[in-house]
Amino acid sequence: MLTQDELKRNVAMAAAEYALTCLQPESVLGVGTGSTVDFFIDAIAEHRHRFRAAVSSSERSTRRMRDLGIEVLDLNEVEEMPIYVDGADEIDHQLNMIKGGGGALTREKIVASVARRYICIVDESKVVERLGAFPLPVEVIPMARNVVSRRLRALGGQPVLREGFITDNGGEILDVAGLDIPAPAVLESHINDIPGVVGCGLFAISGADLALVSSQSGVRRMQRPGAGGADTIQS
């Protein structure tokens, strides 16, 4: 039986191989954050001469890439990227996601918006039939913490402040349990419209384009419905 770290390493290696098919010497690579992405950074660093630079969604990933010799640009210097590679805390079969367990959800969403394709890398434990078992992270401006919490409770959620945590943007995180999410894009839009919300961890208005899922039997691809048919095994 493969350990979770071995599953993460396998999908990270598959993602690096896929990324290299999309990158040119002048390309800028979008990179997310998290433990699975750490393995991806390690894998892609061996091929840093194959692309120009990267843009990162977190200070953590920026430090790791620079330590491995990858140039990291500010997003303001970049007009587009061929792909953005990141993990997820949950992903459904329509490639809607919950993200933000590491607290970088807002920057992840911003960087992903510049990429032509979003590649999600996960182990099989993150694939769900319906989002919501993982508490939904919501980044808020600190002065709005209580008013946003009241609005989230009105939606049926149970928000809890992530104690002692401040995002790279200076915001706070409310982790919201108990939400029923039959229509992820609708709920994402609703939460985004609450005054004081910087961003929420639902990635459904713009979900992933492709998911690479690591399992005991290998790494498989999940395509958005209508964008390629059944899952295939990644060699």
Sequential pLDDT tens for the chain (235 residues):
999 999 999 999 999 999 999 999 999 999 999 999 999 999 999 999 999 999 999 999 999 999 999 999 999 999 999 999 999 999 999 999 999 999 999 999 999 999 999 999 999 999 999 999 999 999 999 999 999 999 999 999 999 999 999 999 999 999 999 999 999 999 999 999 999 999 999 999 999 999 999 999 999 999 987 655 444 434 3
> Is 123 assigned to a binding site?
no
d(CA 102, CA 33): 8
89 is in an annotated binding site: yes
Question: Looking at residue 100, what is its pLDDT?
Answer: 96
d(Cα 79, Cα 102) in Å, to the nearest integer? Answer: 26
Q: What is the pLDDT of residue 227?
A: 57
Q: For 32-184, where are the E strands, in sequence order?
A: 53-56, 72-73, 81-86, 90-91, 97-98, 115-123, 136-140, 158-161, 172-177
Q: Which residues are catalytic?
A: 108
126 has binding-site annotation? yes
As a whole number of Å, the CA-based R_g of the chain is 17
Closest among 77, 11, 74 to 44, alpha carbons compared: 11
Domains of the chain, residue spans = 4-126+206-234, 136-202
Q: Is the dihedral of CA 225, 229, 233, 235 positive or negative?
A: negative
pLDDT of residue 234: 43
149 vs 67, 146, 178, 187, CA distance in Å? 39, 5, 13, 15
Determine whether the annotation assigns residue 36 to a binding site.
yes
Residue 3 assigned to a binding site: no
DSSP string covering 7-21, please? HHHHHHHHHHHHHHH
Q: The CATH number of 4-126+206-234 is which of 3.40.50.300, 3.40.190.10, 3.40.50.1360, 3.40.50.1000?
A: 3.40.50.1360
Cα(130)–Cα(233) distance, rounded to whole angstroms?
A: 23
pLDDT value for 226: 66
pLDDT at 230 (0 to 100): 40
What are the angstrom distances between the C-alpha of 2 and each of 8, 42, 107, 215? Answer: 10, 19, 32, 8
- 223 membership: H or E segment, kind and range: strand 218-223
Is residue 137 within 8 A of residue 99, CB to CB? The reply is: yes
Confidence at residue 232, expressed as pLDDT on a 0 to 100 scale: 43
Q: Which residues does residue 76 pair with via DSSP β-bridges, in sequence order? A: none
Q: Kindly give, in sequence order, each residue whose CB lies less than 8 Å from that of residue 41, ignoring residues fewer than 6 positions away.
A: 31, 61, 64, 65, 68, 70
CATH of domain 136-202: 3.30.70.260
Of the candidates 145, 152, 150, 147, the one whose C-alpha atom is nearest the C-alpha of residue 173 is: 145
Residue 30 is assigned to a ligand binding site: no
**Residue 88 marked ligand-binding:** yes
- Say what the pLDDT of residue 225 is: 74
